[in-house]
Amino acid sequence: MHAIDAYIAEQLSTIAGTPVTAPAETVARVWAQLDRAEERQLPRDRHGNVQYEELLLTKLNLLEYPPLHGDITVLPAGEAPRWPGGHRFAAVLSHDVDYIVLYPWRERLRQAMELHHVITPWRVGRRLAAAGVYAALSLCGLARVPAFDAWAAEEARHGFRSTFFLLPERLQAPTDLDHFYHYDDRLPFRGHSVPLRKAVRTLQGEGWEIGVHGSYNAAYDGAMLRDEAEQVAGLVDAPVVAVRQHFLRFDRDVTPAAQLTAGMQVDSTLGFSGTIGCRAGMAFPFFWPEGDLLEVPLTIQDVGLLRGIGHRQAVRRAQLARARALIARIARVGGVVTLSWHTHPDMPGALEVYRALLETVAELDGWGCTLGEMNDWWRARREALRQTPVVEHEMV
Mark residues 190-229: x for contact with Zn ion by CB under 5 A, - for none. ----------------------------------------
Mark residues 64-103: x for contact with Zn ion by CB under 5 A, - for none. --------------------------------x-x-----
CB of 245 to Zn ion, least distance (A): 8
With CB under 5 A as the rule, give the number of residues binding Zn ion. Answer: 3
Between 12 and 243, whose beta carbon lies closer to Zn ion?
Answer: 243
Between 32 and 351, whose beta carbon lies closer to Zn ion?
Answer: 351
Cα radius of gyration rounded to whole Å, the chain: 21
CB of 178 to Zn ion, least distance (A): 9
302 scored as a contact of Zn ion (CB under 5 A) = no
CB of 248 to Zn ion, least distance (A): 8
User: Interacting stretch for Zn ion, rule CB under 5 A, among 214-222, 245-253, 317-325, 365-373?
Assistant: 245-253
Between 16 and 303, whose beta carbon lies closer to Zn ion?
Answer: 303
Q: Which of 246, 279, 324, 382 binds Zn ion (CB under 5 A)?
A: 246
Please list every residue from 128 through 187 that binds Zn ion, using CB under 5 A: none
Between 166 and 199, whose beta carbon lies closer to Zn ion?
Answer: 166
CB of 96 to Zn ion, least distance (A): 4
Between 82 and 279, whose beta carbon lies closer to Zn ion?
Answer: 279
Between 96 and 373, whose beta carbon lies closer to Zn ion?
Answer: 96
CB of 107 to Zn ion, least distance (A): 13
Please answer whether residues 158 and 358 qualify as being in contact, where contact means their C-beta atoms are separated by less than 8 angstroms.
yes
* Closest residue to Zn ion in the complex (CB): 246
Between 64 and 96, whose beta carbon lies closer to Zn ion?
Answer: 96
Please answer whether residues 67 and 57 qualify as being in contact, where contact means their C-beta atoms are separated by less than 8 angstroms.
yes
Please list every residue from 27 through 56 that binds Zn ion, using CB under 5 A: none
CB of 302 to Zn ion, least distance (A): 11
Between 18 and 217, whose beta carbon lies closer to Zn ion?
Answer: 217
Residue 257: how many CA atoms within 13 Å on its side-chain side?
Answer: 7
Site for Zn ion, rule CB under 5 A: 96, 98, 246
